Amino acid sequence: MQAAPKVHLAGAAMAQRSYRVIRQGDFMEGVTVVTHPLVQHKLTLIREKARSTKSFRELLNETGMLLCYEVTRDLPLEDIEIDTPITRMIAKQISGKKLVFAPILRAGVGFLQGMLDLVPSARVAHIGLYRDPETLVAVEYFFKAPSDLAERLVIVVDPMLATANSAVAAIDRLKERGAKEIRFVCLLAAPEGIERLRGAHPDVPIWTAAIDSHLDEHGYIVPGLGDAGDRTYGTR
């Protein structure tokens, strides 16, 4: 029998365990893991700590666009009549509720742009929240949303679902303001965050590119990608 290939870890990484993303591709009630190879490849690039701010931001934008494609996959269509240069035909167009993207500041904004490129007519609800570093409680500092949230499909956008304190606070607020149909899309989720968000808002389905191993003692996702806001904007 052949020996399993050894993973070579250099320098400081030798002392660390090497984590694999778990449950990738599994199905959980209300959770869709987007396993498309382009998404998975770009996610790997985003995770790398040596990646520049410019490249991180570009990749966040690109994965936002790809995830938007998945989160809107089941939007209803209706038939309309159009003229092609050749003939008249029955063609499809999106029907039903109009979209609102609701990015959670700051990192959600970096994730939003690719989505707006795909759905340029969507409205945007900005939700300013930061995690208190000690308590991990989400603190709101800004909220501005269209007034007709009840008539729209609201897609909450944040690359990270860690404790889910931010996602739950954002969705509480959107519901207070009338939102009835909400989806949540992120790049990385911790199992703890999924459980909390599904418990608090079971009517809100989740799309994510991966479900990682766990949260560390500071509430960071492991293996994760670090602090998404800092990496997007080059702060630290």
Which single residue is written with the structure tokens 């709101």? 140
Which does residue 164 bind out of ligand PRP, ligand URA, none, counting CB within 5 to 8 angstroms by kind?
ligand PRP
User: Among 209, 188, 206, which residue's Cα sits nearest to residue 35?
Assistant: 209
Q: Residue 233 phi/psi, 5° resolution?
A: -110, 5
Residue 43, interface with ligand URA (CB under 6 A)? no
Rg of the chain's alpha carbons, rounded to an integer? Answer: 19
Say if strands 138-144 and 160-161 run parallel, antiparallel, or are unpaired.
unpaired
* Beta-carbon contacts of residue 18 (< 8 Å; ≥ 6 apart): 7, 9
141-180 mask for ligand PRP (x: CB under 6 A)?
Answer: -----------------xxxxxxxxxx-------------
Which does residue 158 bind out of ligand PRP, ligand URA, none, counting CB within 5 to 8 angstroms by kind?
ligand PRP
> What's the full length of the chain, in residues?
236
Candidate residues 51, 97, 106, 126; the one interacting with ligand PRP per rule CB under 6 A: 106
Residue 227, interface with ligand URA (CB under 6 A)? yes
The catalytic residue positions are: 131, 135, 227, 230
* Beta-carbon contacts of residue 132 (< 8 Å; ≥ 6 apart): 138, 139
Complex with ligand PRP: residue 33 or 225, whichever CB lies closer: 225
Least Å distance, CB 160 to ligand URA, is 4
- What tokens appear for 225 in the block? 């990608």
Which does residue 143 bind out of ligand URA, ligand PRP, none, counting CB within 5 to 8 angstroms by kind?
none
Q: Residue 20 phi/psi, 5° resolution?
A: -100, 150
Which single residue is written with the structure tokens 């809100």? 204
Least Å distance, CB 123 to ligand PRP, is 20
Binding site for ligand PRP (CB under 6 A): 104-107, 130-131, 136, 138, 158-167, 193, 219, 227-229
Binding site for ligand URA (CB under 6 A): 160, 162, 219-221, 224, 227-229
